Amino acid sequence: MADCLFCKIVAGEIPAKVVFGDSDTLAIADLNPVAPLHVLVLPRVHVAKLSELEDERLGGHLLQVARRVAKDAGYADNFRVVVNNGAGAGQSVGHLHMHVLGGRQFSWPPG
């Protein structure tokens, strides 16, 4: 999508601090972190939100990348993965992404 912020990051048109990348995914540091570890894991293909993801293999791979990012940062046993689906759930960029958070205590329920 020509106007999608994350598609532009994936294409290299907008710089980002890349934490991990492979042929299907890109993991980047969040510009406004809310925890010592705050990484966004996104698919390289444009999928607007989780409810539109039909590729089960890609969905599983995104979770495995989230796990790897947390492990590589030293938070293998204590991290949170958040996916906001739609504007009403707090999704601010219309490209599926997972927030991987670690390094501090999290409360429940999330805000």
On the 0-12 / 13-18 / 19+ scale of CB atoms within 10 A, 84 is middle
pLDDT tens-digit profile of 4-57?
999 999 999 999 999 999 999 999 999 999 999 999 999 999 999 999 999 999
* pLDDT band at residue 2 using 50, 70 and 90 as cut-offs: confident
pLDDT of residue 110: 82
Q: Which CATH superfamily is domain 5-102 in?
A: HIT-like (3.30.428.10)
Average model confidence (pLDDT) for the chain? 96
Say which residues have a Cβ less than 8 Å from residue 63's Cβ, sequence separation at least 6.
Answer: 81, 98
Domain ranges of the chain: 5-102
pLDDT tens-digit profile of 68-97?
999 999 999 999 999 999 999 999 999 999
Q: Is the pLDDT of residue 111 over 70?
A: no
Enumerate the active-site residues. 97
CA Rg value for the chain: 13
Do residues 110 and 82 lie in contact, with contact meaning Cβ atoms separated by under 8 Å? yes
Say which residues have a Cβ less than 8 Å from residue 92's Cβ, sequence separation at least 6.
Answer: 84
